[in-house]
Chain A
């Protein structure tokens, strides 16, 4: 058993035009760990998550997954490598030209040699995992926000990934459904034994699902620790964020 971290982000820098989003962001994630990255809107959380799966390449710095440096990996290799990932997107990002069933079956059809019956069974299993029933024939547009999110989860886990990434899993959901979704993430994480990286600005969700929480501010990680350590942090920025106060170092000069 190596002690090397499963996911390593090393000194990432990324700019979009004039906007310098990541400024030397580094973090490690151990195998099987559930890391939650929190931070305000526009601090580069989504950008960070997209670096992990190679959807965005850094201007500087490296992304290392299980010993493989994916920073400069060729498109074709990276494409194959992504089978080890499952990613859930903010609004679900379901393919709206397909039914729920076809959405979840999509990666199975493309990447496995499963028969139609096996695919059907696997899709049912995935939907069972996210506690959805009788939605196979529905179109994504017919589903509520929470259901769309869950179908997104089901699609993300269909290939039994080693790494699960959640982009704002509870944004736009009511508090009850948010909690249901958070429970679900924990369940999936435990059942599949995956390494999970979640980004959110919902502290309740973060405290619930995290083994470790990190806070991103101005393109850098300014604090990280277990939920207890994070809660007890003396960093005024972290405290302002946890308590959701309007006045504090985060909002200075605005």
Chain B
């Protein structure tokens, strides 16, 4: 019995510890962001890595999600003769919810993990200590450009996702389900508000911060050699995805 309590206790302590480290890193990243020198070249390199290199993944994910969404909602709405709302539902769902979340999760898998592996390897080979010994704060040199890239690039990827998702829905509805193209386009924009766009983009930006910072933090606190790097990589994706999904609810509530 005590063993079970002990385990539960330890799990909670670890959870609090990790949360503390995460927010500590968040605070430090923002304070170091303001201090010179500013590695603008490195910022752009990371932006390419986070943004441009993720386009193929975002392309496939969001487009197919838009297509599936059209198919599913059509089969449901047909039963109550409300087919004309398919377009609005696809557009609203993509812009407000699916595009930011899917982009966040996909980029967490692609970039969060690679950042954790990269920084984790630097940790176990003492390169992080070497950075410090060369009077360079790793948070400033490694975290700041990555986090900036996440915050800046994710909204762009989300816009791309919005467009592709809506287009995917259009293709399926018009070509497969024989909806009227003109009517579909009209319906798409009929109930859309500018707020639907920007609330999605704010979400994407926050997710960008979460996934890059989680990757960096997991890598930074790596212990235990190659195995530790592997663990850090997996943990980065799992925790980033969880934090994204949890914060998504609260963000939606705030931005409602």
Contacts and interface: CB of A to CB of B under 8 A. Distances in A.
Contact of A107 (B122, B125, B135): B135
B129 A110 contact: no
A75 B137 contact: yes
B135 A93 contact: no
Contacts of B125: 91, 93, 96
A93 B127 contact: yes
A213 interface: no
Interface string A52-76: 0101000000000000000000011
B130 A53 contact: no
A202 to B, nearest CB: 19
Interface string A68-102: 00000001100111110111011101111000000
Contact of A96 (B127, B135, B136): B127
B133 interface: yes
Contact of B132 (A82, A91, A155, A165): A82
20 contacts: A50-B129, A79-B135, A81-B135, A82-B134, A86-B133, A87-B129, A89-B130, A89-B133, A93-B125, A93-B126, A96-B127, A106-B134, A106-B136, A107-B134, A107-B136, A110-B134, A110-B135, A110-B136, A155-B134, A165-B133
A111 interface: yes
Nearest to A84: B135
A75 B125 CA distance: 22
Contacts of B133: 53, 55, 82, 85-87, 89, 156, 165
B127 A95 contact: yes
Interface in A167-186: none
B79 interface: no
Interface of B: 35, 37, 122, 125-127, 129-130, 132-137
Contacts of B136: 79, 106-107, 110
Contacts of A110: 37, 134-136
A90 B126 contact: yes
A148 B146 CA distance: 28
B142 to A, nearest CB: 11
B12 to A, nearest CB: 18
Contacts of A90: 126
Contact of A79 (B122, B130, B137): B137
Contacts of A106: 134, 136
Contacts of B134: 82, 106-107, 110, 155, 159
A166 B126 CA distance: 14
B155 to A, nearest CB: 28
A113 to B, nearest CB: 11
Contacts of B35: 76
Given A82-B132, A85-B133, 5 more contacts: A87-B130, A94-B130, A110-B37, A110-B136, A159-B134
Contact of B130 (A80, A81, A93, A111): A93
A55 B127 contact: no
B163 to A, nearest CB: 35
Contacts of A85: 133
A156 B135 CA distance: 11
Contacts of A94: 127, 130
A86 B133 CA distance: 7
Given A89-B126, A95-B127, A96-B127, A111 B132 contact: no
In the A-B complex, the 4 residue pairs with the smallest Cβ-Cβ separation, listed nearest first, are A93-B130, A93-B126, A87-B133, A82-B135
A253 B126 CA distance: 33
A110 B130 CA distance: 14
Nearest to B130: A93
A89 B135 contact: no
Contacts of A82: 132-135
A107 B141 CA distance: 12
Nearest to A107: B134
A97 to B, nearest CB: 8
A84 to B, nearest CB: 9
B129 A55 contact: yes
A97 B233 CA distance: 19
A83 B135 contact: yes
B135 A111 contact: yes
A55 B135 contact: no
